[in-house]
Structure 1
Amino acid sequence: MKVINKLVSAFFLIFGFLMIHAQKMPPAPNSGETSRGVVGPGAQASPIDMYVFALGIIAVMFIVFFTKKYTGKKA
């Protein structure tokens, strides 16, 4: 069981590191600036928009899991 916990922890650590660096945007074309660009028409959508439903499902799964885990120990 300890090996599984270490593997899951390593997975979340690597996944979190990759998500931190997931949204590196190049500078806006023809702006001459090194900023992240201008928000408006033609701007890139946020990458999290694609995963809203999956994140909601995962959140519900975590809620159910921890609710069952901790209510079982109280009795």
Structure 2
Amino acid sequence: MDVDCFGNTNGELEVTATDGTAPYLYSLDGGAQQASGLFTGLAAGTYLLEVEDNNGCTDNINITITEPNELIISE
């Protein structure tokens, strides 16, 4: 899910690994691995998602979270 308003950090990313050997570990931008493929509190930007299966095999993909343009009021 993309960010709802310019500058917010409420983007979400949910992924599910298939094939390979479960269980899977997920990490975003080289952060700590976690058992869940759900990442919340994301700002707009491009993230590197890496998945590792139980055999140590890995795959990765770049995923972009977007945001709308900044709201501007003019006279």
Bigger helix fraction: 1
Same fold judged by TM-score > 0.5? no
Structure having the larger proportion of residues in strand: 2
Q: Whose relative contact order is higher, 1 or 2, with alpha carbons under 8 Å and at least 6 apart? A: 2
TM-score (norm: length of structure 2): 0.28
Higher gyration radius (CA) = 1
